[in-house]
Amino acid sequence: MLRNEMESEETLAGARMVRFMEKEDPVVAAALRQELQRDEVAELLAALGTESRKRIRRRNWMIGGALAYMGLMATMAIATHNAGMIGSIGSMTGMLVAAGAATKRQKRATEALAQYDEDVRIVGPLAEALEFQDKKLLPIVTEKLISLLPKLKASDRSLLTADQRACLYRALQGTNPNLKLAVLMSLQQIGDSKALPYVRKLEKDSWAMSRDAIREAVAACIPFLTDLAEREKNSQTLLRAADGNATPSEVLLRPAEAAPVTIEPEQLLRASSHE
C-alpha cells in the first residue's frame, strides 16, 4: 500500500514537472514526458507479468483437476457400466474455458497499456489480449496493434514470447482484414517458421486474398518464412549431427589405465642383500 502511494506521488510530481517545463522549455518537457511514459509502461508491464504468471499457475491447477476428474468419471463409468457418468465429463468444459480467462487486473493493466502510443514494448501483452474474449477490450487492443505492428523491427523480436507470437499468428484466422495485414507486415521482422502454416492457410482464403494489400503481403511473407524454416531445419540437422559425433563424456573423463607392472620377488630383496 505504501509503495503504491509513493509511486503515485512520484507520478504526480513528474506530471507537475512536465507542466512547468512546457512553459520554460517545450523540448525538455517533451523529453520528460516521454521518459515518464516509459517508466509508467515499465510498471504496467511488470504488473502484467505478475498477473500472467498467476494466471498460468491457476490454469495449470484447474486443468490438472479437470483431467483428474474426467479420468475418475471415465474409470467409474467403465467399472459400473453406467454410461450416464460420461455425460458429467461435459460439465468440465466451462471449467477448462475459465482456466484460460484473464484476471480483472490483467484486463485493467492491458487497457491502460493501450493508451500509450509509439511504445512497441506493449505489443506482446496486447497480442495476448486478443484472446481474452473481452468485447470491450478487443477493439481497443486491435486498433493499437494495427498501429504498432508495422513499426516493429528485427531488434524488437525479443519483446515477444513464443506464446505472444502464436496469438498474432492465430489472428490471421480472424475476421479483421486490417489486423491480418498488420500481422503480415510484422512477420518479416519478428516472425518465425511457426507462422508459415497460418500464412499458407490464409493464402487459400479467397475472401482475404481478394484484397490487394493482403495478397501482396502474403506473397512477400511466404518466401521469407519458407527460407527461415529451411534454415531452422538445417540448423537442427547440424546440431543433431554434432551430437552424434561427439565423444561421450564418460570416455573423455575415464582415467588412463596403466599397464600392470610385474615385479619379481628377488628384485625386492636384492637391495637388502648388498647392505
pLDDT 10s digits, 197-208? 999 999 999 999
The highest-confidence range among 81-90, 187-196, 249-258, by mean pLDDT, is: 187-196
Q: What is the pLDDT of residue 91?
A: 57
- Which whole number is the average pLDDT over 207-211? 94
- Tell me if 50 sits within 8 A of 105, measured CB to CB: no
Percent of the chain exceeding pLDDT 90 equals: 40
Which of 104, 125, 105, 101 shows the shortest CA–CA distance to 113? 125
| pLDDT higher at 200 or 77 | 200
Which of 225, 207, 146 shows the shortest CA–CA distance to 181? 146
Which of 127, 138, 210, 139 shows the shortest CA–CA distance to 165? 127
The DSSP 8-state label assigned to residue 213 in this structure reads H
| pLDDT higher at 56 or 114 | 114
pLDDT 10s digits, 155-184? 999 999 999 999 999 999 999 999 999 999
What confidence category does residue 8 fall into, taking pLDDT thresholds of 50, 70 and 90?
Answer: very low
Buried b (16+ CB within 10 A) or exposed e, 24-60: eeeeebeebbeebbeebbeebbebbeebbeebeeeee
H helix intervals, the chain: 2-24, 26-80, 84-89, 93-99, 104-113, 123-129, 137-148, 162-171, 177-190, 196-203, 206-209, 212-245, 249-253, 265-273
